[in-house]
Structures are given as C-alpha cells and as structure tokens.
Amino acid sequence: MSFKIGNLEIENKIILAPMAGVSNSPFRLLTRTYGAGLVFAEMVSDKGLLYNNEKTIKLLYMTDAEKPMAQQIFGSDLKTMVEAALYIDQHSNCDIIDINMGCPVPKVAIKAQAGASLMKNPDLIYDIVKEIVKRVKKPVTVKIRSGWDHQSINAVEVAKKIEAAGASAITVHARTRSQGYSGFADLEVIKAVKENVSIPVIGNGDIVDGPSAKRMLDYTKCDAVMIGRAALGNPWIFREIDAYLKDGTILERPSLHEIKDMMVAHLESLIDLKGEHTAILEMRSHGPWYLKGIEHASNLRKQLSQTRTKDEFITHLDAFFNKK
C-alpha cells in the first residue's frame, strides 16, 4: 500500500488535498489520526512569504504529529517562486514543497496569473520547477489540472516537462480550469499522465468513498488518490477508504456521539491555535459540513452558522444530540 516521493515513504495511498481555509493544522491532524498517509497544507502566496506577511507566515504552522506533510506555494514569477521555495525549505518543518499549478479561483488563476493559469505556459512551468528543484533540499511536487479548458487539455505535455525538470511526483486534478469543481473528473487524463511519466502520479477528483478510490487506482494505475471536498466534515473518510482498499471492508459510518465529540474536539483545537473568535468563524463552516446527512439537523445548522462563542456552540450541540 505504501509508495515513495523522493526518499520519503508514504504509508498508504490516501492523501489530504490542500484546501484554502480548511487544511490547517487541526484538520490535518484529524485526518492523519484517521488514516491519511500524507497531508497537504493550504497554499501560501510566494509574495506573502517574501513580504513577511503575518497571515501568510501563520499558515506555515505545523506540528510533528501531522507529518509527513507537504507545504504548497503559489505564484507565477520565477524569481519570487524560487525565493519562496527557499524560505519554505529553510524555515518550514514540512517534508515536501508542492507547487500549485491547478487552483481555478479567479483571484489566483486570473488576477495573479498563477495556479491553473500556468497550464497555458508549459515552458514557464518547466523553468519554475527546474530552478526550485535545483535550489532546495526537500522533494518538490506539482499539482496541475487537465488543462485550462476543454480546447487545451495538455496535462500529459505539462507532466512530461515537470518530470524533466526534476520533480518527485505530480498530482493531477482531472478537471479543466474552466470546469472549476463542476462536472466530473476525467480518469482518462490521469491514466494518460501515468502512462507517460515514471514519477509517482496522484489522482484527484470525485473520490468520495472506498469504491471510487479503488476505481481510480485500478483504472488509471495512479500511485495514490487525493481527497478534498469529500473530507469536509468527514475526516473518517480516510479510515473508510483505507479499510476498503485493504480487503473490501465497508466500515459503518461514525455514530452521532462520535460526530458530536469530533465537532467539539475540532473546535477546541482551533481555539488553541487561533483563539476563540477566529475558531468560531471557521466552525460556522465546518459545523454544517459535519451535519450533512443527519436528519432534522437544519435548525442546528442555522444555529451553528450564527454562533459567537464556544459555550454557545456546545450548548446548541448538546440540545440537539442529547435528544438522539
């Protein structure tokens, strides 16, 4: 079940995606506890690092318990991307430096001409990856999309350049930038990339359970799968996929008691890291995600989205779950 990125041994084939505002230290630790073999931190801006932006620097916080971990950076300027990678190499406790060349959001892909926008310039991708690999000690990986749009699907061409530039692995989110997160991931793209490079390929897109993970692994022959949105409010997904891949076991969903305890633990770890105010703001999103699929929880979702304190949050949980 294990595979290697550079000399780093990853214990299984199940990886947490880098998600802005989600993949912070408490959430990474939860997913590692429940079986993620590798976790990616949310992306940080190259210029944010170089200008010593306080918010950006705080995003680099991590603990040894989360390792192995990859820190993702984004940008489009060769010089500042190299400087940012050097900063991560020297000041972060991460194991891998990942370059984002797949983010589709306008703020990144259009305004900053970074993320998925780089898919339009394979030569610049090659130059950025090659120079970073040459300058840093940690393994370098790259996350890409299928292409900019359906008329320019070029993941194979880009993957070959990334490999030639010396990267240790590549993640393919098998949607185009124009798709965003809509439609379906195209497994043919991941399969084609895997057939054309010799470095590990991580498949990303539409992994929601054990069967979907196994389908991607079997069909594309990719080395691992990356889980993003399906992990929101569901850190147990890593445990479930791991069991299914090992012997086809389908685990029971977590009990209501386990869900409630997880929500409280998640809140408390966010408070420890960021303080009560910021933690509550983040749990206004996480709370409703945890309640997905639970009957008669619509009023609780509304209550949690308006909470202001830890005591208020827990009072709402007690009132709902103690009736169950």
Q: pLDDT, tens digit, for every residue of 273-288?
A: 999 999 999 999 999 9
- pTM here is 0.95
| Topology (CATH) of 256-321 | 1.10.1200
43 DSSP 8-state letter: P
Backbone φ and ψ of 314, nearest 5°: -70, -35
Residue extents of the structural domains in the chain: 3-247, 256-321
Structural tokens at position 144: 């890409």
Distance (Å) of CA 277 to CA 108, 200, 244, 249, 296:
27, 41, 39, 41, 28
Place of tokens 């012997």: 247
Q: Of 72, 84, 14, which is closest to residue 42 (Cα–Cα)? A: 72
Cβ neighbours around 182 below 10 Å, total: 7
Which pLDDT score is estimated for 120? 93
pLDDT of 1 > 90? The answer is no
- 230-235 average pLDDT score: 96
pLDDT of 303 > 90? The answer is yes
Cβ neighbours around 66 below 10 Å, total: 25
Same fold, 3-247 and 256-321: no
Q: How far apart are CA 81 and CA 96, in angstroms?
A: 15
Task: For residue 121, list its beta bridge partners.
Answer: none
Give just the sign of the alpha carbon dihedral 291, 283, 14, 104: positive
Q: Does domain 3-247 correspond to CATH entry 3.30.70.20? A: no
Task: For residue 72, list its beta bridge partners.
Answer: 98
Q: With cut-offs at 50, 70 and 90, classify the pLDDT of residue 232.
A: very high
Instruction: Say if residues 249 and 262 touch (Cβ distance below 8 Å).
Output: no
Catalytic residues, by residue number, are 103
Which pLDDT score is estimated for 104? 84
pLDDT of 4 > 80? The answer is yes
Q: How far apart are CA 246 and CA 173, in angstroms?
A: 24
Q: With cut-offs at 50, 70 and 90, classify the pLDDT of residue 111.
A: confident
Q: Of 109, 105, 157, 99, which is closest to residue 131 (Cα–Cα)? A: 99
Across the chain, mean pLDDT equals 95
Contacts of 165 (CB under 8 A, 6+ apart): 125, 126, 127, 129, 130, 133
Structural tokens at position 249: 């076991």
Q: How far apart are CA 259 and CA 265, in angstroms?
A: 10
Q: How far apart are CA 65 and CA 25, in angstroms?
A: 10
